[in-house]
A = this chain, B = another copy of it.
Amino acid sequence: MASNGKHGSPSYVPSAPSLPESYRQQYFQGSGGSYGYWQQHSQGNGSSYSYGQQQGPSSYGHSGFPPGTDPAVISSFQMVDRDRSGFIDDNELQQALSSGYQRFSLRTIRLLIFLFKSPNDPLRVGPKEFAALWTCLGQWRGIFEKYDKDRSGKIDSMELRDALYSLGLAIPPSVLQLLISKYDDGSGSRVELNFDSFVECGMIVKGLTDKFKERDLRYTGSATINYDTFMSMVIPFFVSYN
């Protein structure tokens, strides 16, 4: 399999923005505590998820949100968390994100919950995860708008490639084409992605790339994986995604 020559090998970019701490903790559960990789690569990479690295849960307010969280974010969460359980499910998350972004498809929402979920509740997100998700989507929205040069609300395949690359993700061209084909409406016109599809697409790539990185701690672009590990890496995506 040829690597992506344009961006060199390994194809993913070591300075990729990290997913939030809760996500990394989840990933490293049971891995023997090998945090060196993330520490090495999460410094000075422009990650916007710094709160979890400097502040433990004890510094969180009783609302559960990290200090300094935008009141609009807290309000969006609390508006849908009507039973004040501190957790919101897929429909509630869809509604909560609508206030700041747009109405995402439930498929994208479930993928986001899978990637940002609370370690204690695999089907819902709490305040900490919601704040991290909101920040991440803000970053992705910025990148999306940067590449949506004509402000049409859509980006094409080349713009998607560049947008993913700026998120630290350089996938093989054949995989990119396949991903894009998912959004082909069969009309013969050029395939374009709206922000919902961009997030869905990018989160699949990001989630799988991070799973691979866990097995490639030295950043060689190659990993030795046994069968059980491979299945455990991939199957959860299928379960969460449908």
Question: Chain A residues in contact with chain B, CB under 8 A?
Answer: 1-4, 9-12, 107, 171-172, 174-175, 178-179, 181-182, 204-205, 208-209, 212, 216, 221-232, 234-239, 241-242
Contact = CB atoms under 8 A, between A and B. Distances in A.
Given A182-B239, A204-B235, A238-B241, A2 B228 contact: yes
Number of copies of this chain that the complex holds: 2
A38 to B, nearest CB: 17
Nearest to A30: B1
The SS class assigned to the A binding surface is helix
Contacts of A178: 235-236, 239
B181 A239 contact: yes
Given A235-B178, A242-B241, A209 B222 contact: no
Given A178-B239, A237-B238, A239-B181, A1 B223 contact: no
A232 B182 contact: no
A175 B228 CA distance: 9
Contact of A224 (B107, B212, B222, B242): B222
B181 A228 contact: no
Given A1-B229, A1-B232, 15 more contacts: A1-B226, A2-B228, A3-B226, A3-B227, A10-B227, A11-B227, A172-B228, A178-B239, A181-B239, A182-B239, A208-B235, A222-B226, A223-B230, A237-B238, A241-B241
